[in-house]
Amino acid sequence: MTAIVWFRQDLRLADNPALTAAVRSGAPLVALYALDDDAPGAWRLGSASRWWLHHSLQNLAADLARIGGRLLLRRGGAEFALEQLVEETGAGAVYWNRIYEPWAMRRDAEIKARLKGRGLHVESFNGALLFEPSQLRNKSGAPFKVFTPFWRACLAAPPPEPPLPAPQHVTQGPAVDSERLEDWRLLPTKPDWAGGLRDAWTPGEAGAQARLREFAAQGAADYGDRRNDLADAEGVSRLSPHLRFGEISPRQVWHEVARRAGDKGASYLRQLGWREFSYGLLVANPDLPEQGLDRAFDAFPWRDDAAGLAAWRKGETGYPVVDAGMRQLWRSGYMHNRARMIVASFLIKDLLIPWQEGERWFWDTLVDADLANNAAGWQWVAGCGADAAPYFRVFNPVLQGEKFDPDGAYVRRHVPELAKLDAKYIHRPWEAPAGVLAMAGVRLGETYPRPIVDHAKARERALAAYAQLRGAG
Ligand code: FAD
């Protein structure tokens, strides 16, 4: 009898436990991807994620075809797509790898119960995380709220299993109709804003593997020293979108980094731990993307500042490092982690705009937009999350720029109108003498904006708002 493999955030052949189990069952296979992000409670995929998904599915379809399979595409609720496919193929088994968005977990449990009720064999696997969130508990048996003991517990647990090899051959099940990927219109039409994404990325399992091999061999061992250098594109792995779509598994990353970098890879592996921690938070707090964990922040005196939000989104705040980060995001669908912290702090604390606004913009524009990591990252910077940076830690965008982009290479790359400015002023152009600005072709307020807020005053305002919150609590 036919087995259905339901692909979701595991768009790969290697180390795919659901696919491997289905192949090992000996049954002919039908591989399904169901586009269902309009489901109730779901965060509809953002524009950059849709672009990535298109290419990732194209690659998965080609990879499957090479080993004798065929990827079937269906739109609409996954529950209907699956039930229909069971009818059409007479399938006796369904396999999938688990995902952890709260709406999907609820839905998947219902699907599992229904299919089992109809007598099908249904099996789900962990293909997305190093450790299953439900297995990790603190001393009082509750989910962890602090990262360091969480990571200690992870390291004390049995290490992740070695990755599974990709199947060499699959036996294709009955021929059934598939929708056409082009008809899903995941790619931008007019204007085509995806040129920078095409230049920066190679979606798909082969691209992910190539990136991992390169990073494990070259960058992983000195990740701890280089990870905060904004201009050093090779200092970080840039594996996040591949992990997000499951083109590579964290177990593959773990084992390859351990093999190539040995003990020196520890600081990189710890970073994968933050991903695990964020997923644990999301599973324990299904409203993490909408609601601050610290409920005291519900009363925060946020400002309604449409002009400030627009300037932030466009990278026109007048603070070069903030603008460089926002423009890197717009152009390539990615932003360096250090820059994410700086721009998030600027939105939340210098502009007093709710963190959820930033979270939504990131969701739409990041190729690695990930419900757990994005929500946890924003809450961490806002100071309302688990194990968060304290609210009163306000990043100074000038000092952050000078520390993590000392010669201004990151700013020059992403804010070309400042490219010729002397390094001494690259993070504070408003202090440059008129002659220096003229030499660099910079006319403040014309070719590059003046700061939209005075950071020192904005910092005082943020601290006063915070004091008001504490006073009210
Ligand atoms: P590397 O530094 O090479 O790290 C390797 C991997 O570890 C990453 O790919 C990622 O999977 C994981 N990781 C690293 N740092 C973190 C972290 N702080 N939290 C969780 N996982 C981490 N990451 C996303 O994947 N998607 C998001 O939507 C996202 N939104 C963020 C929003 C804010 C405000 C902040 C501060 C951080 C956010 N992050 C997000 C976390 C982090 O910035 C990115 O994972 C990282 O920059 C991705 O680049 P990389 O693959 O080169 O990371």
Residue 226: how many other CB atoms lie within 10 Å: 13
| Cα 396 to ligand 1 centroid, rounded to whole Å | 21
Binding site membership of 377 for ligand 1 (Cβ less than 6 Å): yes
> Which amino acid is residue 376, in one-letter code?
A
| Cα 336 to ligand 1 centroid, rounded to whole Å | 8
pLDDT band at 388 (very low <50, low <70, confident <90, very high): confident
pLDDT of residue 405 exceeding 70: yes
pLDDT of residue 473 exceeding 60: no
Q: Secondary structure of 354-403 in the HEC alphabet?
A: CHHHHHHHHHHHCCCCCHHHHHHHHHHHHCCCCCCCCCCCCCCHHHHHHH
Adjacent-strand bridge partners of 444: 448
| Cα 460 to ligand 1 centroid, rounded to whole Å | 29
| Cα 373 to ligand 1 centroid, rounded to whole Å | 7
Binding site membership of 237 for ligand 1 (Cβ less than 6 Å): yes
Q: Percentage of residues in the chain with pLDDT exceeding 70?
A: 100
Given this model, what pLDDT does residue 469 score?
A: 82
| Cα 240 to ligand 1 centroid, rounded to whole Å | 6
pLDDT of residue 327 exceeding 90: yes
Report the residue among 225, 346, 371, 373 best suited for mutation to probe ligand 1: largest number of ligand atoms under 8 A from its CB: 373
Looking at ligand 1, which residue's alpha carbon is closest to its atom 50? 238
Using the atom order of ligand 1, give the atom closest to the CA of residue 278.
Answer: 20
Using the atom order of ligand 1, give the atom closest to the CA of residue 244.
Answer: 25
Q: What is the pTM for the complete model shown?
A: 0.98
Looking at ligand 1, which residue's alpha carbon is closest to its atom 21? 275
| Cα 157 to ligand 1 centroid, rounded to whole Å | 23
| Cα 325 to ligand 1 centroid, rounded to whole Å | 14
C-beta separation of 376 from 282 below 8 A: yes
User: Nearest-CA neighbor of 208 among 6, 13, 7, 369?
Assistant: 13
Given this model, what pLDDT does residue 472 score?
A: 60
pLDDT band at 430 (very low <50, low <70, confident <90, very high): very high
| Cα 405 to ligand 1 centroid, rounded to whole Å | 19
Adjacent-strand bridge partners of 94: 4, 122
Using the atom order of ligand 1, give the atom closest to the CA of residue 378.
Answer: 34
| Cα 374 to ligand 1 centroid, rounded to whole Å | 8
Using the atom order of ligand 1, give the atom closest to the CA of residue 238.
Answer: 52
pLDDT band at 402 (very low <50, low <70, confident <90, very high): very high
Predicted confidence (pLDDT) per residue in 151-195, tens digit: 999 999 999 999 999 999 999 999 999 999 999 999 998 889 999
Adjacent-strand bridge partners of 33: 7, 73
Looking at ligand 1, which residue's alpha carbon is closest to its atom 30? 374
User: Nearest-CA neighbor of 236 among 264, 271, 279, 208?
Assistant: 271
Report the residue among 240, 274, 370, 371 best suited for mutation to probe ligand 1: largest number of ligand atoms under 8 A from its CB: 240
Using the atom order of ligand 1, give the atom closest to the CA of residue 250.
Answer: 11
Given this model, what pLDDT does residue 160 score?
A: 95
Looking at ligand 1, which residue's alpha carbon is closest to its atom 49? 238
Tokens of 265: 């890879």
Using the atom order of ligand 1, give the atom closest to the CA of residue 239.
Answer: 51
Binding site membership of 325 for ligand 1 (Cβ less than 6 Å): no
User: Nearest-CA neighbor of 400 among 417, 375, 381, 377?
Assistant: 381
Given this model, what pLDDT does residue 170 score?
A: 97
User: Nearest-CA neighbor of 92 among 121, 64, 69, 118?
Assistant: 121
Looking at ligand 1, which residue's alpha carbon is closest to its atom 15? 271
Given this model, what pLDDT does residue 336 score?
A: 98
Predicted confidence (pLDDT) per residue in 407-424, tens digit: 999 999 999 999 999 999
C-beta separation of 183 from 11 below 8 A: no
Binding site membership of 278 for ligand 1 (Cβ less than 6 Å): yes
Binding site membership of 243 for ligand 1 (Cβ less than 6 Å): yes
C-beta separation of 33 from 180 below 8 A: no
Q: Percentage of residues in the chain with pLDDT exceeding 90?
A: 92
Adjacent-strand bridge partners of 73: 33
| Cα 118 to ligand 1 centroid, rounded to whole Å | 41
| Cα 299 to ligand 1 centroid, rounded to whole Å | 29
Average pLDDT (440-445) is 98
C-beta separation of 348 from 308 below 8 A: no
pLDDT band at 252 (very low <50, low <70, confident <90, very high): very high
Predicted confidence (pLDDT) per residue in 42-94, tens digit: 899 999 999 999 999 999 999 999 999 999 999 989 999 999 999 999 999 99
